[in-house]
Amino acid sequence: MKRIISIQDLSCIGKCSQGVALPVLSAMGIECAVLPTALLSTHTAFDGFVSRDLTDCIRPILAHWKTMGLRFDAIYTGYLASEAQIDLVEEIFDDFGRAGNLFFVDPVMADNGSLYPGFSAAFPGKMRELCRLADIITPNVTEACLLTGLEYRTSHDEAFVRALLEGLLTLGAKTAIVTGIRTDTSHMGVAAMGTDGKLTLHYTDYIPAVFYGTGDLFASTCAGALTLGLPASDAISLAADQVVRTIRATTADPEAAWYGVNFEQTLPDLSARLREYLLKEEA
DSSP assignment of 14-57, as one string?
Answer: SS-THHHHHHHHHHTT-EEEEEEEEEEEE-TTSTT--EEE-HHH
Indicate the residue type of 25: L
CA angle, residues 118, 32, 70, in degrees to nearest 5: 100
- Binding segment for ligand PXL (CB under 6 A), chosen from 39-47, 54-62, 136-144, 163-171, is 39-47
Decide if residue 139 touches ligand PXL (CB under 6 A): no
Cβ-contact 3, 65 below 8 angstroms: no
Decide if residue 36 touches ligand PXL (CB under 6 A): no
- Binding segment for ligand PXL (CB under 6 A), chosen from 36-44, 155-163, 229-237, 246-254, is 36-44
CB of 16 to ligand PXL, least distance (A): 4
Choose between 82 and 194: whose C-beta lies nearer to ligand PXL: 82
Q: How far is CA 142 from CA 58, 112, 116, 183, 270, in A?
A: 29, 6, 11, 15, 27
Helix axes 214-227, 18-27, angle to 10 degrees: 40
Intra-chain end-to-end CA distance of the chain, in Å: 21
Residue from 6, 7, 9, 273 that binds ligand PXL (CB under 6 A)?
9
Q: In the range 77-136, which residues lie near ligand PXL by CB under 6 A?
A: 79, 108, 116
DSSP 8-state class, residue 280: H
User: Using CB under 6 A as the criterion, what x/- string covers residues 202-231 for binding ligand PXL?
Assistant: ----------xx-xx---------------
Residue from 45, 70, 163, 267 that binds ligand PXL (CB under 6 A)?
45
Decide if residue 138 touches ligand PXL (CB under 6 A): no
For residue 235, give the H/E element and its range.
helix 232-252
Decide if residue 44 touches ligand PXL (CB under 6 A): yes
Residue from 16, 74, 145, 226 that binds ligand PXL (CB under 6 A)?
16
Helix axes 83-96, 123-133, angle to 10 degrees: 10
Task: Give the footprint of ligand PXL on this chain (CB under 6 A).
Answer: 9, 11, 16-17, 40, 43-45, 79, 108, 116, 212-213, 215-216
